[in-house]
Chains A and B, each alone.
Chain A
Amino acid sequence: MSEEVMVRLDEVSRVYRQGTNEVRAVDRVSFSLGAGDFTAICGPSGSGKTTVLNLIGCLDRPDEGRVFIEGRDVSSLSSGELARLRRDRIGFVFQSYNLIPVLTAAENAAFVLELQGRGREEVRRRVAEVLAEVGLADLGHRRPEDLSGGQQQRVAIARALAPEPAIILADEPTANVDSATADGLLDLMERLNRDRGTTFLFSTHDERVMKRARRLIRLRDGALEADTTAS
């Protein structure tokens, strides 16, 4: 694990007000993620895991505290700059419905690269590379509807990987697949983390995922309950 800090949360809160009621979905949470981390955030439903992921992913803004991505304070960024930050530095793997149905697996994988405006040759090369990495080298031409759940998730991982982001955020990536496929996905992500040093942050309530993570951040009612690192 290197010392480069990818993500830092500093007393971050996300508060929802309903009239006089105040709900703290995230309550003064602080932690840092370094390059190459393989971390899971867990907790019962309603504990704020997804919200923390959204805050790190710059899909949401904190009401209190600050979020730093590669040293940059995201609160100072406009929505356009945030979009570019997401595009270039953050990868997303959602629980389901990750892919654009009308595009092939290869085109889905290429999506962020296309957003970045890279040349056709470069895109082609990188897509072939990441598809091979996730074990889908020959399935690039298939559409999502012709891929299994596990294969779709792999394409999502390939897409997240392609622009070489600072961190890949995965929101319950194994929730919608059977256990054998889940294992396969976790193996893949572990390998990517080990061989390429890709930083991963999962949110999960799946025991298997939690077991595999090297660091476990536990939330309860929006607040940090525990932050343990496996030895």
Chain B
Amino acid sequence: MNGRLLFIVRLAVKNIGRRYQRSLIMVGAVAFAIFIAIYYAALTEGLLANTERNAVLMESGYIQVHAPAYLEEHDFYQMVSDPDRVVRAAATYGLAAAPRLFGFSLAALGDNSAGVEVRGIEPSLEDQVTRLSAHLLEGAWVDQRQGVVLGNRLARKLGAKIGDKLLLLGQAADGSMANDLFRVRGILKPVTSEIDQGTVIMSAADFRRFFVLPTGVHEMALGGRNLDRKSLASISAKLAGRLPGLEVKSWRELSPVLARVLDSTKGSLFVMLLLIYAAMAILILNAVLMGVFERIREFGVMRAVGLPPIAVFLLVLVETAILTLLGGGLGVAVAVPLIIRGETHPIDLTALAADASTIAGVAIDPFWYTRLTWEVVSVPFELMIVVALVAALYPAGHAAFIKPVEALKND
């Protein structure tokens, strides 16, 4: 049987070479379709990764720990008991823990004012969990000097520039009126709509001084290494077990809408691929069918000479498979370098969308990066082979079951 198969394959290769113009057309079409599919998949992956990155690495971290009911009520006095315990527990899973403090105040600059959420952070620890410090539009990050960093929209709303003195008014922990001037040190790029619209970031030291809150922490954000979906779920569960009395949530639980959006986008990507491939399948069906009809005489001769139907059937399929693989290979070869380049040179959409927009509250940049993963290449490629072979079934069947007499009448 193997010898026969080899014979068929050699025959298929010869046939392809003989009719190289036709073959070239099909290879070209497949290459084009695969290229589109892979590139589109890479763009979608890039969008998803970017959005997830914005949410997780910029803001929430992978896992957050709070006092129970803090998320619901945002009570200033509901603090995480024994933050060191959290830090130790996180360390066993290779995660850093960044403490955060939250409070409300009125911010005023000149004629403008806004209610803001003040966030106190420990810069060195925060840096281990999020990349917010590198996400500045202008200015510098928070450090030991007194100063604040503003969200993008907030800065615009207040008309704030670097160096301006921002007045903050709030209610301190001891009930007194807290007010102080803070120099605007930096302005962030768009992150999430919450941060963009109304967050003022300062050092934990400044926060404690302003709100008269010497100890205590409202939130511990954990991160520092990449956690895929599975490890995220398992580590989150284990931490919850090790920290009774505290509420442990993964970012997926904290932002279920975002999680769902990202998941469903993967689903819609699949639908897109199917559509591209449906168009390609029609093309392949056409090409293979025509190829069969053109050579109907040849096939008739083969059958007359004694080749069993299955051999003819396989011949057409093998030809299709070879051409598809060639086309797929070509498409991949062209797409991958472009995708790699796209990872650092994004498509610039600022002409369309000067502002960042948001999805489920997370900013999406008007720069479209691609992202190369194994699946981005393998899924379209495998799908293509399946589609091509399915498309070739009918023509192959037709070729296999011609009556030699009929076929020889042609031409």
Whether A and B touch directly in their complex, counting CB atoms under 8 A apart, is answered as no
- Which of B's residues lie within 8 Å of A, judged by CB? none
